[in-house]
Structure 1
């Protein structure tokens, strides 16, 4: 649970700097697996989830979009946490057996004179207590309502790569996507709708800074532009075979396959350079490692300690000699 206490420290430091950060979570927050082993393990996992909700209540959260793993403790447990939370649970495509939405599909956050629409969405998953509607159709049904009320639209999408690819084929007015499913972490937002995958380990906090001059214009991902310019530039230089003055078109004039690659690289380079030069609205981001260099927030530590006491009352053998809960990477170690 050290990540929670350190996350709270980072957020508190931002607030102490006079900033008003918007805190979002794209899902798979409460549990680490889709299915929990029955018995004491389930009880321990639920206490851990309660610690997370209590900690988020303390540190602040503006919106949480549910993912598949969040239902591992059962629907009733999710609804209990929803009632005790002081932040919105979102989903525009998770419904009960009667087909009714269980949570609000989106929320509007006011920040710096802007209305920011945040939508909750998830890819399909199997669960006996809920149904998951087609994510693309569900998004299509509400996107106009959200865009009409918002200056900026953020999608929290617990997504498979297949569903992300489908989404890109539609002309949805979405400014950025935050995704939590999978372990791959983004180094930039990609060449389409800026999309950031935080991974599912919870050991990194993504800090985004949006510079909005004209909310009617798209947001340019500066990291993607800079990464593309470097990556493609390096590839083109490597193809010059050690001679920086080489004319690549002339050098590979008899190799049509390589020429096609060169033209593709040059097109990417031109796109990135033009996007960088013409950027009006921009987004930058920083990955903050929640390691031991970040101090633990004492208020969150108190919440964690209360949770540990509750686990001991259950009679769980899972807390180690250092008081660490299951899931801690050092659980069971003597250091």
Structure 2
């Protein structure tokens, strides 16, 4: 037996310890903060313990696992242990430790211990690379979020588009879930590639036509939860965004369903002038992105409505 590998990653953060600890504890918000995290669901077990299911990327692959966490607010510590791992991980656990270095400065240490399925050296190397990449990305993102002085993010935008469809939740869900057929069904999608190695966890790559006739390529990880929601996060983004996550929410009503497309985006300030012109700012970028995404979402829901009538 090769045994357990133990590794440590850390970062200094210029923010109060309680703010940093709160960002670690509130795992449901991780998709907005941590680049690898797509979706998190939480179950409170009481007594300072909880169970969370995480969908995330590791070495560019979509993965999901279930962890049990113990929260210790007095020690600013969160311990975690995977209850259900996904190969090549055989077992994994660790801790988040937040150590005050003053009133407005602290050190975050992220510990991992793990082993590979069958203690395979190749699988162990894959895990080591994934842990290093994700830990570095998460700690960097945590530092950025915690050090945002006023707690606001002027580049962040969230909005909804809702359509009522006289159809069953299953019919609408199936249309949205079967994204491999979108190039046939949606005029604004010119190419699509869908990979689903684990049921309900999809990697979707597609080329989308814009209003001026050009196309852009995006890649998303999608978490499909029949027949209620499809949650997604783009891992290859258009140039105007540094974050794009959202969901399709299907709610049953009398005689049909109400379907809501939610988008949360963060504007890439560095590209605003290049794409929209030297006079454009964040407000103009938000309006442009909202118009583009709403147009595509409403078009998709319009075609879902027409498809369900057949």
User: The TM-score by the shorter chain falls in which range?
Assistant: under 0.3
Greater percentage in helix? 1
Relative to the length of structure 2, the TM-score reads: 0.23
Greater percentage in strand? 2
Relative to the length of structure 1, the TM-score reads: 0.22
Q: Larger Cα Rg: Structure 1 or Structure 2?
A: 1
Question: Which structure ranks higher in relative contact order (CA pairs < 8 Å, sequence separation ≥ 6)?
Answer: 1
